Structure 1
Amino acid sequence: MNTIKSDVIVIGGGIVGSSATLFMSQKGLNVTLIERDVCGSRSSGVNFGGVRCQGRPVSHLPLAIRARDIWRDADNVIGGKFEYTVTGHLKIARNEEELTILNDYYADSQGMGLDLQMLSGDEIRRRYPWFSGRVLGGSLSPHDGQANPRIVSPAFAAAARRAGARVCEREPVQTVEKLATGYRVTTKEGIYEAEQLVIGAGAWSNNIATQLGESFPLTHGFPAMAVTEPIPYFLHPCLGVQGGDIYIRQVTRGNVVFGGGTGVAVSDSSSRATSNNLMALMARLLELVPSMKNTQILRTWSGMEGFLPENTPVIDKSLNHSGLYYGFGFSGGGFEIGPGAGAALADLVAHGSTTTDLTPFSMSRFA
């Protein structure tokens, strides 16, 4: 096989890898993106689809706000909205303990760009009369929203291709090697070499990193989700609850998407929701929105997410190898923040630094 050379190789075509590829290409780098399936087919394509800053650790908000700015400019960045809409995100408290947590977060996040609004239970039911009496209060983040995860990552990859990147799909990585200068990645279809390497392969990133002598405490999780038949549109903001045991959104064509809890692994590359989990999810849904009783569920699914301690990803350069960068372990929260992570990684690769504070995501946590 011929060896294909470029400036940078990116492994992983999810929202982080595909956006990093786009932004590096726009900076004039020759980039090769390698994806084992098709871009966005794994966790970036099967997640809930919430695009929220609310609820993230305050130290993560600078990166989340950078990502939000990219989402807002999606028409120019990737050539379309791809069902991205600003609906707001309403986080519900069902008891005093949860309400205290929301009030504390409201205070801690002041001045960070969220513009949160604390609402009483009565005010929530006045605005959204379909809520049950279980709602004690909540926090509304007006700038958050939602998008269609199935089409966003492919859109980033397509934009990267238009910007000059080489996008290689259905090429599982077989080996990764450190060369005297740079890296070699071998797949069944080809051999690729570059001075710099970005590993953003989600739940499978550790399998690649260990080939280079580095390892992370990465575990796997399997979020469970479902979607209903179309019903009359009523649910404008995305909904979450403090504690995260259920999250709900409605698309404009009427389908309600909801999720929470965990599914189970079927193999090392797939997972599914379980009947017990779905029954519990439906009970939680009806506790908040009783009017959805008898609504039909069309489909259920799960995905495989990579989790790192404290649900905090690594977005950093290697401590041991020059030209090696990591962006994974987003712990179920990578969809919104992904384009920001991709942009920050592009800064690191192209310039050696970034204006976005990446201290919380440092690799030194695992040294």
Structure 2
Amino acid sequence: MDVIVLGGGLMGTASAYFLARRGARVTLIERNRIGAGATVASFGNIRRTGRHLSQLPLAHRSLRLWSEAQKMLGRDVEFRATGHIRLIFDEGGLADMRAYAEAARPWGLELEELCPREIRVRFPGLGPEAIAASFSPHDGSGNPRLIAPAFAESARKLGAEIIEEAEVEKIKHTGSGFLVTCSKGAFAAECLLNAAGAWGARIAALFGEQVPLDARGPQMGVTEPLPHRILPVVGIWTRDKEYGAYLRQVERGNIVFGGAAERVRVDLDPGYAKADPACLPAQLRAVARLLPAIAQVAIIRTWSGCEGYMRDMLPVMGRSATTPGLFHAFGFSGHGFQLGPGVGDAMAELITTGRCETPLEDFGIGRFNRGA
């Protein structure tokens, strides 16, 4: 089976790898450089807490693959299962956490509830005003700059052709397959996987599938290096977007942070977003609620990227509703990093066998046309 994968982010490169591992002949086409879009803008959070319940089977599948990534890909992509803590500062957040924990338990996610004393003893310096927290010990983080290149290189070793800096000019369904013409040539295949991120809606539209996707850029920042003391990824349960911050400390000591700021609009041509410096003061106030010590630390860099957000915040994944041989995996709405390996594995299974052991029905592109 021949497959063309459009998009060289984490979803596309993981799909290319798992397709090649299943014996498919794969050509991946990326308009820029591998991992240069939403993946490199990612915070690097590998968390299951707070996900839409129907995403949890895919998240569990992906977590197993993250734990195998170093052996599987032959390099350290800095996956660390250091846990994920979400702090709670008010009764509304506590009620939301408890309701989610109860609902997620049948889906295989167990959250530990921590009291203020347990937070202080186990995670000193975090959320001194927190009234509670949830903790998921098996989650953690990974390096967004390493994972997509690692999948691409491993796919290449399995025979996949990886084509970068290739602008797609035309996509045609030939009846027996697909012909993709780009700046580096024409490529034919039996199947086409649309893993083009924020550009995925444009490709779907070529086949009569309209989806409500908005391109946005997150507001991210990183501090100077500090002594390495914060092990888990830190987030918050809150109904107030102004406090929706998150952070993690990498092993080199820098603290990466984001959230608590409006995502900037992105023009898909050229598809780049710049961080808005006006957002930084309010963002840092929210981050300081989680980690007061950050108020005394120098910020050395801010950045943004280009992510595709669906209006219902669920990805588009699975078969096309209009075109045989066309598959979609895009629109992960800023929370696709953890899912990436699982998405690639699931899409490879679906494309090569016609079925998928992980339920994907909630993510089908046909949901946007129901009742039309």
Q: Find out whether 1:324 has 2:319 as its counterpart.
A: no
Structure 1 residue 75: deviation in Å?
2.1
1:33-65 deviation per Cα after TM superposition (whole angstroms, max 9, x unaligned): 000111111111121001111111121100000
Structure 1 residue 364: deviation in Å?
2.2
Instruction: Show the counterpart of 1:3.
Output: none
Structure 1 residue 267: deviation in Å?
4.2
Amino acid aligned to 1:286: A
Q: Find out whether 1:306 has 2:301 as its counterpart.
A: no
- Give the TM-score, by structure 1 length: 0.95
CA contact (8 A) 1:263 1:274 kept: no
* CA distance, structure 2, for counterparts of residue 300 and residue 136 of structure 1: 31
Count of aligned residue pairs for this structure pair? 362
1:280-321 deviation per Cα after TM superposition (whole angstroms, max 9, x unaligned): 111112222222222001100011110113210011101111
Structure 1 residue 263: deviation in Å?
4.1
Structure 1 residue 111: deviation in Å?
4.2
Structure 1 residue 80: deviation in Å?
2.2
Q: Select between 240-249 and 44-53 the one with higher mean Cα deviation.
A: 240-249
Structure 1 residue 18: deviation in Å?
0.6
Structure 1 residue 113: deviation in Å?
3.4
Residue 82 of structure 2, aligned match among 80, 87, 91: 87
Instruction: Show the counterpart of 2:257.
Output: 258
Q: Find out whether 1:161 has 2:161 as its counterpart.
A: no
* CA distance, structure 2, for counterparts of residue 23 and residue 163 of structure 1: 10
Structure-2 change in CA distance of 1:219 and 1:103 (3 Å)? same
Unaligned runs of 5+ in 1: 1-5
Q: Select between 340-349 and 128-137 the one with higher mean Cα deviation.
A: 128-137
CA contact (8 A) 2:87 2:290 kept: no
1:145-191 deviation per Cα after TM superposition (whole angstroms, max 9, x unaligned): 11110110110011100111011011021111111211111111100
Instruction: Show the counterpart of 2:95.
Output: 100
Residue 180 of structure 1, aligned match among 175, 181, 187: 175
Instruction: Show the counterpart of 1:46.
Output: 41
Instruction: Show the counterpart of 2:185.
Output: 190
Structure-2 change in CA distance of 1:306 and 1:78 (3 Å)? same
* CA distance, structure 2, for counterparts of residue 146 and residue 354 of structure 1: 26
Q: Find out whether 1:356 has 2:355 as its counterpart.
A: no
Alignment of 1:27-46 (within 5 A): 27-46=22-41
CA contact (8 A) 1:114 1:143 kept: no
Instruction: Show the counterpart of 2:275.
Output: 273
Q: Find out whether 1:25 has 2:27 as its counterpart.
A: no
Instruction: Show the counterpart of 2:144.
Output: 149
* CA distance, structure 1, for counterparts of residue 312 and residue 197 of structure 2: 16
Q: Find out whether 1:9 has 2:8 as its counterpart.
A: no
Alignment of 1:96-245 (within 5 A): 96-243=91-238, 245=244
Structure 1 residue 212: deviation in Å?
2.3
Residue 70 of structure 1, aligned match among 65, 70, 75: 65
Amino acid aligned to 2:362: P
* CA distance, structure 2, for counterparts of residue 10 and residue 274 of structure 1: 33
Unaligned runs of 5+ in 2: none
Which ranges of 4 or more aligned residues in structure 1 deviate by more than 6 Å?
none
Structure 1 residue 109: deviation in Å?
1.3
Q: Select between 236-245 and 44-53 the one with higher mean Cα deviation.
A: 236-245
Alpha-carbon RMSD: 1.4
Instruction: Show the counterpart of 2:346.
Output: 344
Helix, strand or coil at the partner of 1:249: strand
* CA distance, structure 1, for counterparts of residue 67 and residue 124 of structure 2: 30
Instruction: Show the counterpart of 2:285.
Output: 283
Structure 1 residue 273: deviation in Å?
1.5
Structure 1 residue 345: deviation in Å?
0.8
Amino acid aligned to 2:26: V
- Percent identity, aligned pairs only, is 40
Q: Find out whether 1:366 has 2:368 as its counterpart.
A: yes
* CA distance, structure 1, for counterparts of residue 129 and residue 169 of structure 2: 52
Amino acid aligned to 2:359: D
